[in-house]
Structure 1
Amino acid sequence: MPASAQVPAKTLAALLDISEVTVWRWSKSGRLPRPRKLGANTSRFNVGEVRAAIAALAA
């Protein structure tokens, strides 16, 4: 998946093998980056930002 890809929380949860609630909890706590709002009911996470956050947590 390219770093510029935008994915919903459900897809991110599946990729990380965590629940969708955990994705939102980690985002709120700063463990994952905040999603971008694309509309009133649409948010997407940037894959490149998520990869960087995971790499920082692993280091």
Structure 2
Amino acid sequence: MAQRTDTSTIPDALKNFDSLPDSANVRQSVVQGLVGCSAATVWRMVKRGSLPAPRKLSERVTTWNVGELRKALAE
């Protein structure tokens, strides 16, 4: 039997990713949801150039640009 996903745990930015402007920024959990992988795999993909490098907004906040992510995922 198929398991149901609890949609309350899915970030709003991931639910609405298609409607976000290219200038928006998203956190790592959204990137993980888009790619369907773990945090470690996201960082490996950044290191090898499969995903764009994130931007550091503050000491504890790292984000990815939506426009850059769309371009990388389309390739």
Q: What fraction of aligned residue pairs are identical, expressed as a percent?
A: 45
Scaled by the length of structure 1, the TM-score of the pair is 0.81
Partner of 1:48: 67
**Aligned counterpart in structure 1 of residue 32 of structure 2, from 6, 10, 13:** 13
Question: Which 5+ residue runs of structure 1 have no aligned equivalent?
Answer: none
Scaled by the length of structure 2, the TM-score of the pair is 0.66
Return the index of the structure with the highest Cα Rg: 2
Cα-Cα RMSD: 1.1
> Do residues 27 (structure 1) and 36 (structure 2) align?
no
Which runs of structure 1 show a deviation greater than 2 angstroms over 4 or more consecutive aligned residues? none
Question: Which 5+ residue runs of structure 2 have no aligned equivalent?
Answer: 1-19
CA distance in 2, matches of 1:3, 1:20: 23
Give the deviation of 1:43 after TM superposition: 0.8
Aligned residues: 56
